[in-house]
Amino acid sequence: MTNFFFNLPRQFIYLIIALAVFIPIILGMEMDVIPAPEAEAVFNIIEDLPDGSVILFGQDYDPSSEPELTPMTTAFLRHCFLKKHLVVSVNVFTVDGVGLGQMAFSKMEDEFGVVSGEDYVYLGFRPGVANSIRAINSDITNYYKTDANGVPSASMPIFEKVKNGKDVDFMLSIAAGATPEAWILYGASESGYPMAAGCTAVSFASYFPFYNSGQMKGILGGLKGAADYEELLVRNYPEMKEKSMFAKKGMVSQSWVHILLLVLIILGNISFIRERAITRRGGKA
């Protein structure tokens, strides 16, 4: 038995991990989660704002972080449009992520019938993180002459209400990098809007100093943060049960893989300890 674990083919490990990932997805399994307080804080802010409030959304990630952050974006935008908020969105991180933003809002058009230029605007990417954020503080349409599709922004009805950062009621940056810190430094501190962050799981802990100090009103961390938001949506809006909740499904696969890895680590260590004990006894089992 000891030799079996020592000589376990890596292809076998890859196979059982692949099965742990794909079986829950194929079967459509979902995991009920207990939302974290920092995720509930984000949800409650959006929920408590008067209908038609202005939300500034930083879609600050690229395809490498899509599995974690696209479900988070979908859940957040669904909530915004359920509340009939106006959404002004940009990407200050990278041009590579613009396509993901366009797909996210296209999905919202299909689900909620929202109209670009009226209910939301996706302005895409402009180079220079600080320049882009500060331009929003002062005059959005003067810097973002067109949206991500090349449509002139000055004539859009949404900008009759939203001129600059002072008109923003809440800001969320869903980011693969450190752009939430830039939004605090150049955006929230200058324009005064409250903000929160969504991030990959590996960055989650690094934002707690901002959360504890009140500079961030909440945090959505990784796939669990996205699943938290989906759970809160389903609890508060029963009609959302009919929508696909990718993060809650992904949490099943993630949990299965974590458990599998723990089992393999434990079995590997038991085998190692047993083999070492046999060696010390002169090779006698």
3-state SS, 154-195, equals CCCHHHHCCCCHHHCCEEEEEECCCHHHHHHHHHHHHHCCCE
Q: Which domain holds residue 263?
A: 2-26+251-280
pTM for the predicted model, two decimal places? 0.87
Check pLDDT > 90 for residue 241.
no
With CA atoms as reference, report the closest residue to 183 among 93, 94, 105, 120: 93
Check pLDDT > 60 for residue 9.
yes
For residue 247, the model assigns a pLDDT of 84
For residue 282, the model assigns a pLDDT of 67
- Report the SS3 class of residue 55: strand
Quick one: average pLDDT of 135-156?
94
Residue 285 in any domain: the answer is: no
Check pLDDT > 90 for residue 250.
no
Q: How many domains does the chain have?
A: 2
Check pLDDT > 70 for residue 284.
no
Same domain, 19 and 144: no
Q: What is the residue type of 49?
A: L
Same domain, 10 and 127: no
pLDDT in tens, 251-273: 888 888 989 999 888 888 887 78
8 Å CB contact between 188 and 178: no
Residue 132 in any domain: the answer is: yes
- The token pair at 48 is 């408590």
For residue 281, the model assigns a pLDDT of 74
75: left (phi over 0), alpha (psi -120 to 50) or beta: alpha
Question: What span, in angstroms and rounded, lies between the C-alpha atoms of 205 and 207?
Answer: 5
Same domain, 103 and 8: no
Which has more pLDDT, 13 or 156? Answer: 156
Question: Looking at residue 243, what DSSP letter applies?
Answer: S
Question: What span, in angstroms and rounded, lies between the C-alpha atoms of 2 and 275?
Answer: 7
Same domain, 70 and 120: yes
pLDDT in tens, 11-42: 888 898 999 888 888 887 877 889 999 999 99
Check pLDDT > 70 for residue 285.
no
For residue 279, the model assigns a pLDDT of 77
The residue written with tokens 């109209």 in the block is: 115
For residue 2, the model assigns a pLDDT of 53
Same domain, 19 and 39: no
Which has more pLDDT, 247 or 194? Answer: 194
For residue 96, the model assigns a pLDDT of 92
Same domain, 148 and 262: no
Same domain, 55 and 114: yes
Q: Counting beta carbons within 10 angstroms of the beta carbon of residue 132, is it exposed (0 to 12), middle (13 to 18) or buried (19 or more)?
A: buried
